[in-house]
């Protein structure tokens, strides 16, 4: 069963080549103060990035747009009570926006499977909520592929010890149902997709234009819909297909650009899956493999990899540094500890390279990074009332110049990071020094990497012409 709504590989079309060239931005309160105004400003940024998105011959069908916010507990608790669902305290329940098939028997099957998997994983299924939406706002093409919209509520199991362990359980639940549906014999017309399933963040997105997001999802206009961050994205799907599922943001990122090394990244990830070991996941890790959903775009697959790295125990800035390293190998003036960090991790993962600007968040941190070539523009500013704005261009919010305390742009390979818990912008040098010195990477590299030049010269072996020919034929297949 398709999980993205894209057509299968046929003729000259291959879903593998789905790429984006889009508008991305975020607004955040530096001190982590939640408000509805942050959500509204996020939607305003999204509307002001409309020109970076796209639509087809049907001007009301967009390539995709969406918003990611922190969990709006007050709003969800109120809505759950209307359905006679009593939510546990904030942080002890997860919510996900689910795209379900419109055919009743398929929808019922997937809902039943999902509820069963929740129980099997030792968590509590609390209920479903129909998400209010206005289908009259969208074009004919988008409407023809429109799924059913549900939010699922899942309570934390009694054996789950902390927030991150609960996030891992929600991830395992999501991967299990994704793999089960993908391997099922349900019909091919409709599709299934979970936009997010988390106790920290919530996503609203779809095959929409930027202005349609606010009008389509009525929840976003509610005063109880509050957040300290709002990550938004307006998609331009270049020469490929728009889709409800391939709209951004994904679970942790929104991306402008392309990952040009994707085939190699995918191959190496798949090759290493048999060696995956995690103290954090334990035996649950096997339930999530394969990690990468190859039906997704380059951005979606990047998000799959980043999500696993973070849930396996790495802080978000650490995982981003692994995937999008600076140009370090020939950098003569780079700090030795940072260079050792990059060299060590180059043995574990290849760079995900391309002309890319990537905004990322886990609900606490929100930030952005450019690839080492720095070919995608991104600007940021900080105001005197603790508002942080970052976008793929300046002027996405009407902010008076006298309110601006500082401003700048993302530089090649550099990271811009806001920590809403500590209430500050963390400098690229500071965050990377902290990450690079957390473990003795320099010592590990010196002790464990062998320079090929230091190996003894091999003995020269002579072969007969026939033996040599056979050996070469076998070597080259």
Q: Which positions are annotated as active-site residues?
A: 22
Q: Which two tokens stand for residue 457?
A: 């010269």
Q: Reduce the DSSP state of residue 81 to 3 states and report it.
A: helix
Q: Distance from CA of residue 458 to its chain's centroid?
A: 47
Q: Which residues contact 249 (CB under 8 A, 6 or more apart)?
A: 66, 67, 68, 203, 205, 231, 232, 233, 359
Per DSSP, the three-state class of 264 is helix
Q: Cα 231 to the chain's mean position, in Å?
A: 11
The set of long-range contacts for 261-265, using a CB threshold of 8 Å and a minimum separation of 24, is: 261/350, 261/351, 261/352, 261/353, 261/354, 262/16, 262/298, 262/301, 262/352, 262/354, 263/16, 264/350, 265/301, 265/305, 265/350, 265/352
Task: Please tell me whether residue 104 adopts helix, strand or coil conformation.
Answer: helix
Crossing angle for the helix pair 336-346 and 316-323, to the nearest 10 degrees: 70
Q: For residue 381, give the 3-state DSSP assignment.
A: strand
Q: What is the DSSP letter of 35?
A: B
User: 3-class SS at 95?
Assistant: strand
Tell me how far apart the alpha carbons of residues 328 and 326 are, in angstroms, rounded to a whole number. 6
Alpha-carbon distances, residue 279 vs 131, 164, 282, 319 (angstroms): 37, 13, 5, 17
Q: What are the percentages of helix, strand and coil residues in the chain, rounded to 5?
A: 35, 20, 45
Q: Two tokens at 268? A: 């190496």
Q: Which among 251, 284, 40, 56 is positioned nearest to 159, based on CA atoms?
A: 284
**Cα separation of 84 and 82, whole Å?**
6
> In 10 A of CB 85, how many CB atoms?
17
Calculated CA dihedral for residues 159, 165, 166, 170, nearest 10 degrees: -120
- Rounded-to-10 torsion of CA 254, 258, 304, 205: 40
Residue 172, helix vs strand vs coil:
helix
């Amino acid at each position: 069963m398709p999980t993205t709504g894209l057509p299968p590989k046929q003729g000259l079309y291959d879903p593998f080549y789905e790429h984006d060239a889009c508008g991305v931005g975020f607004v955040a309160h530096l001190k982590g103060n939640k408000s509805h105004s942050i959500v509204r400003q996020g939607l305003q940024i999204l509307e002001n990035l409309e020109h970076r998105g796209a639509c087809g011959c049907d001007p009301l069908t967009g390539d995709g747009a969406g918003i990611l916010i922190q969990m709006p507990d007050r709003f969800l608790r109120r809505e759950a009570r209307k359905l006679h669902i009593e939510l546990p305290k904030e942080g002890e329940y997860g919510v996900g926006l689910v795209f379900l098939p419109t055919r009743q028997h398929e929808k019922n099957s997937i809902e039943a499977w999902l509820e069963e998997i929740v129980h099997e994983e030792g968590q509590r299924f609390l209920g479903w909520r129909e998400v209010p939406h206005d289908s009259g706002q969208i074009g004919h093409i988008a409407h023809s592929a429109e799924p059913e919209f549900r939010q699922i509520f899942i309570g934390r199991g009694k054996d789950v010890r902390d927030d991150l362990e609960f996030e891992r359980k929600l991830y395992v639940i999501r991967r299990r149902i994704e793999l089960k549906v993908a391997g099922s014999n349900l019909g091919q017309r409709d599709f299934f997709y979970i936009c997010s399933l988390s106790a920290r963040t919530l996503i609203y997105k779809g095959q929409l234009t930027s202005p349609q997001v606010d009008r389509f999802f009525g929840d976003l206009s509610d005063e109880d819909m509050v957040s300290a961050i709002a990550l938004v994205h307006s998609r331009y799907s270049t020469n490929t297909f728009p889709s409800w599922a391939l709209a951004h943001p994904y679970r942790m990122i929104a991306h402008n650009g392309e990952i040009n090394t994707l085939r190699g990244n995918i191959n190496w990830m798949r090759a290493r899956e048999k060696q995956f070991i995690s103290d954090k996941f334990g035996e649950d890790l096997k339930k999530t493999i394969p990690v990468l959903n190859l039906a997704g775009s380059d951005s979606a697959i990047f998000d799959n990899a980043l999500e696993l790295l973070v849930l396996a125990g790495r802080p978000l800035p650490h995982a981003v540094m692994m995937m999008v390293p600076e140009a370090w190998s020939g950098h003569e003036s780079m700090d030795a500890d940072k260079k050792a960090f990059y060299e060590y991790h180059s043995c574990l993962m290849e760079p995900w390279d391309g002309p890319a600007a990537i905004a990322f968040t886990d609900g606490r941190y929100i930030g952005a990074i450019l690839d080492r070539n720095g070919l995608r523009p991104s600007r940021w500013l900080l105001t005197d009332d603790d508002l942080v704005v970052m976008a793929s261009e300046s002027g996405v919010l009407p902010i008076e110049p006298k309110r601006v305390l500082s401003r700048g742009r993302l530089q090649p390979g550099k990271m811009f990071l806001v920590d809403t818990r500590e209430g500050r912008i963390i400098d690229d040098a500071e965050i990377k020094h902290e990450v690079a010195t957390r473990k003795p990477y320099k010592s590990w590299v010196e002790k464990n990497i062998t320079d090929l030049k230091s190996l003894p010269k091999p003995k020269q072996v002579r072969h007969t012409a026939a033996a040599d020919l056979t050996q070469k034929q076998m070597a080259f297949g």
